[in-house]
Amino acid sequence: MATPLSADRLLKALRDEGLRVVEHRSWRTHNRNHMGPWGPLHGVMIHHTVTSGTQNSVDLCYDGYASLPGPLCHGVIAKDGTVHLVGNGRANHAGLGDDDVLRAVINESAPLPADNEANTDGNRHFYGFECINLGDGEDPWPAAQLEAIEKAAAAICRAHGWTQRSVIGHKEWQPGKVDPRGFTMDSMRGRIAERLRVRPPGPKPPARYEPFPGAAFFARGRRSPIITAMGKRLVAEGCGRYEVGPGPEWTEADRASYAAWQRKLGYSGSAADGIPGKASWDKLKVPNV
């Protein structure tokens, strides 16, 4: 059970998982909350659109149609893996489903029971993603789209502390539904489980570099892991002049390599003497050791 994510938290969770996200029109305030409660949230539901074309599908899921007003989900996952956000709050995507399935999702138990009843409001309890596919069993599922489904579901599970068992297909919830068709939900849950296991949330922390230790540091015979790290960066920049190494001791090979780096930066004469200065050091970006 969870309180729904705010628009900002949902957007951040998706982007932190590495997704390309497009904010469609007034998605942040677009919902069906006036028709019933939104929350507590228990899981993520995956659908296919039975449409083709990104813009057409996104517009349909935002607007809905006469008998089923939009939003028809929270996000539309395109063939190229882009997630288009179309709603935030209650959405017309899940309909009535099986209370036994809901209990299994809440308990994160497996296998899911058969969805043989339609007695429980799913729009209240599930985030929904519509994935652009004709649903005919022939329309392909590109790798980028499948990866985006995995990432989107994992992002929400991660935000709420859920496992992959909180992700289901529409066909596992409501009798008579077949979506998503073309891949199995067990295989998708396996992918989500692996992502939750190995990928931490959030963007990578900014790289940290060694501060300039001063020109006097680079004296013959000086030994330091900083010198090894510097040498590796010089090699990576194509400036290494080492027969063996680089190593932790400051040598003439280090000096010759650093001089090559200074010349690469445009220095010449005494300004390319192989003794590091702050400006050239900062450009080399020697990682912390």
pLDDT for residue 201 is more than 60: no
Q: How many CB atoms lie within 10 A of CB 198?
A: 7
pLDDT in tens, 9-46: 999 999 999 999 999 999 999 999 999 999 999 999 99
pLDDT for residue 199 is more than 70: no
pLDDT for residue 113 is more than 80: yes
pLDDT in tens, 128-177: 999 999 999 999 999 999 999 999 999 999 999 999 999 999 999 999 99
Alpha helices (H) in 5-50, listed in sequence order: 7-16
The radius of gyration of the chain's CA atoms, rounded to the nearest angstrom, is 27
Report DSSP state, residue 84: E
* Nearest Cα residue to 95 out of 163, 156, 179: 179
Helix (H, G, I), strand (E, B) or coil at 21: strand
Percent of the chain with pLDDT over 70: 97
Buried b (16+ CB within 10 A) or exposed e, 82-112: bbbbbbbbbbbbbeebbebbbebbeeeeeeb
Read off the pLDDT of each residue in 241-251 and give the average, rounded to a whole number.
Answer: 92
Q: How far apart are CA 139 and CA 135, in angstroms?
A: 7
User: Among all chains, which residue has been given the structure tokens 């000096």?
Assistant: 255
Note the pLDDT of residue 200: 55
Helix (H, G, I), strand (E, B) or coil at 223: strand
| Residues 25 and 15 sit within 8 Å (Cβ to Cβ) | no
From the centroid of its chain, how far is CA 2? 21
Note the pLDDT of residue 288: 87
Q: How high is the mean pLDDT of the chain? A: 95
pLDDT in tens, 83-93: 999 999 999 99
| Residues 280 and 265 sit within 8 Å (Cβ to Cβ) | yes
pLDDT for residue 254 is more than 80: yes
pLDDT for residue 266 is more than 90: yes
Phi, psi of 179 (to 5 degrees): -95, 145
Note the pLDDT of residue 244: 85
Q: How far apart are CA 152 and CA 120, in angstroms?
A: 25
What the chain holds in terms of domains, given with CATH numbers, is: 7-198 (3.40.80.10), 215-284 (1.10.101)
Q: Of the ranges 52-66, 113-127, 185-199, which one carries the lowest mean pLDDT score?
A: 185-199
Read off the pLDDT of each residue in 203-214 and give the average, rounded to a whole number.
Answer: 83
Alpha helices (H) in 36-86, listed in sequence order: 54-63
Note the pLDDT of residue 42: 97
Q: How many helices (H) and strands (E) does the chain have?
A: 8, 10
